[in-house]
Amino acid sequence: MKYISTRDESKTPYSFSDILIAGLSPDGGLYLPEEYPQLDGVLLDQWRTLLKEQGYAALAAEVLKLFVDDIPAEDLEGIAKRAYTTEKFAHEDIVPVTHLEDNIYLGHLSEGPTAAFKDMAMQMLGELFEYELARRGEALNILGATSGDTGSSAEYAMRGRKGIRVFMLTPKGRMTPFQQAQMFGLDDPNIFNIALDGVFDDCQDAVKAVSADADFKRVQRIGAVNSINWARLMAQVVYYISTYLRMTDNNEQKVSFAVPTGNFGDICAGHIARQMGLPIDRLIVATNENDVLDEFFRTGNYRVRSSADTFETSSPSMDISRASNFERFIFDLLGRDSERTSELFGTKVAQGGFSLVDDPAFPKAAHEYGFASATSTHADRVATIRDCNERLDTLIDPHTADGVKAARDWKDQVSTPIVVLETALPVKFADTIREAIGEEPEIPERFAGIMEAPRHVADLPNDPEAVKQYILDSIQASEV
């Protein structure tokens, strides 16, 4: 199994371990497998039995083996077993599935240590990083950006790990108090929180700018944990497979997914699973008022927006107007044309976006790749949370509410069950929950006292050079 960059016309192949550490390709592109491994009915039947008898970690190991050929199989099994334990996850199924209403179900991705779906990939990534760095005798300085949940999931997965430092950029004042407390309350010496004066897209741009400085990246050993890192998507493919297996008795059945998304990472994993042959019917993109992705799938226009035009909403982890992982899907949609992909995402996006309205590939997004989309407003979220709580006795967070609303929009047009991928526990978004149901969400016991912890965060201007200087100063101080 080799990997290529979406922007590399020469299709230079890389090993998994190399792209794990590198994160972003030197040409600015994103890594994908040269070819997606294929699933067949025999394998799915075997995995259905494996999941029932041995659980999620055993399934995860088998999926990893399809994508990783430069780490021994028994080591991958150990990595998966350590990542997905009941000590870290609050439910023995790791990703349980429950019925909500009609043909709509919930895939619970928030049983991990930070109560967010990002834990599903980050726990795996932490194990992979520590394993590979130890094997190489190297260290890594992880640089990431978060709109809410990625940061805390990354920090909880990496805290205390040998040879790893984490530098996480956050949009100053844009995360909920609980999200800030989860991150800024950590006092581990290998964790560095940065509040950037801007929105999430500015944070993401700063990460890309630092990574684009090849000399700085090489000398300072800069790596990535954002969903630009292929290993995260690989880990997320597992829960699409596990959810499908839990929802079906045989492989003739199909399942659809409604996925709240801003950066296109969560649903990109669904796209990959579908390309592997998992019997997925529709992939429904659920957005909030920052509806760049919904606009594309409806019209063919990918119109990115400036920081000033990015709305601050009650589902803040989706307040994104430039979806990094979207490049991976467009690469596939355009027949893996690296030259066109490079032009669109290397040039056109910087100029405001691009249009595929008249491109013969655009109709394939729905007809061949199964994509659909919907969008929500704050009023929609509040009404959905209130309805699910009062009528269905199920309390959901605002992002999951975007997903439920999208599933309801499409349920009469889809003949298969729709699984809404839950994104976080309601406790992380207390203000909106209180507005919807008139009371505070319950705080799980494992988060008791989190709001009172001292804060550890550095305020920086929206300037990649300031970020680089902070990284240098922090590395030097920690080596003294």
Distances (CA, A) of 120 to 36, 112, 422: 21, 7, 12
Domain for residue 119, yes or no? no
**CATH code of the domain containing 401:** 3.40.50.1100
Domain for residue 24, yes or no? no
Q: Supply the range of the domain harboring residue 341.
A: 97-114+230-437
Among the options 118, 254, 405, 411, which is catalytic?
118
CB-based contact 410:104 (threshold 8 Å): no
Residues in the chain: 480
pLDDT, one tens digit for every residue, the chain (480 residues): 999 999 999 999 999 998 998 777 889 899 999 999 999 999 999 999 999 999 999 999 999 999 999 999 999 999 999 999 999 999 999 999 999 999 999 999 999 999 999 999 999 999 999 999 999 999 999 998 887 677 888 899 999 898 899 999 999 988 888 888 889 999 999 999 999 999 888 998 999 899 889 899 889 988 877 778 899 999 999 999 999 999 999 999 999 999 999 999 999 999 999 999 999 999 999 999 999 999 999 999 999 998 889 898 999 888 888 898 999 999 999 999 999 999 999 999 999 999 999 999 999 999 999 999 999 999 999 999 999 999 999 999 999 999 999 999 999 999 999 999 999 999 889 999 999 999 999 888 878 888 888 899 999 999 999 999 999 999 988 875
Measured distance CA(464)–CA(289) in Å, rounded: 28
CA dihedral 267, 272, 278, 279 (to 10 degrees): 50
Q: How many domains does the chain have?
A: 1
Domain for residue 176, yes or no? no
Domain for residue 273, yes or no? yes
Domain for residue 132, yes or no? no
Domain for residue 49, yes or no? no
Number of CB atoms found within 10 A of residue 137's CB: 7
- Nearest Cα neighbor of 177 from 412, 432, 389, 399 is 432
Measured distance CA(474)–CA(472) in Å, rounded: 6
Domain for residue 445, yes or no? no
Measured distance CA(152)–CA(123) in Å, rounded: 11
Domain for residue 20, yes or no? no
Q: Kindly report, residue by residue over 142-182, the tens digit of the pLDDT.
A: 998 887 677 888 899 999 898 899 999 999 988 888 888 88
CA dihedral 116, 118, 123, 126 (to 10 degrees): -130
Give just the sign of the alpha carbon dihedral 187, 190, 194, 200. Answer: negative
Q: Is 411 a catalytic residue?
A: no
Q: Kindly report, residue by residue over 379-392, the tens digit of the pLDDT.
A: 999 999 999 999 99
pTM here is 0.91
Q: Kindly report, residue by residue over 342-380, the tens digit of the pLDDT.
A: 999 999 999 999 999 999 999 999 999 999 999 999 999
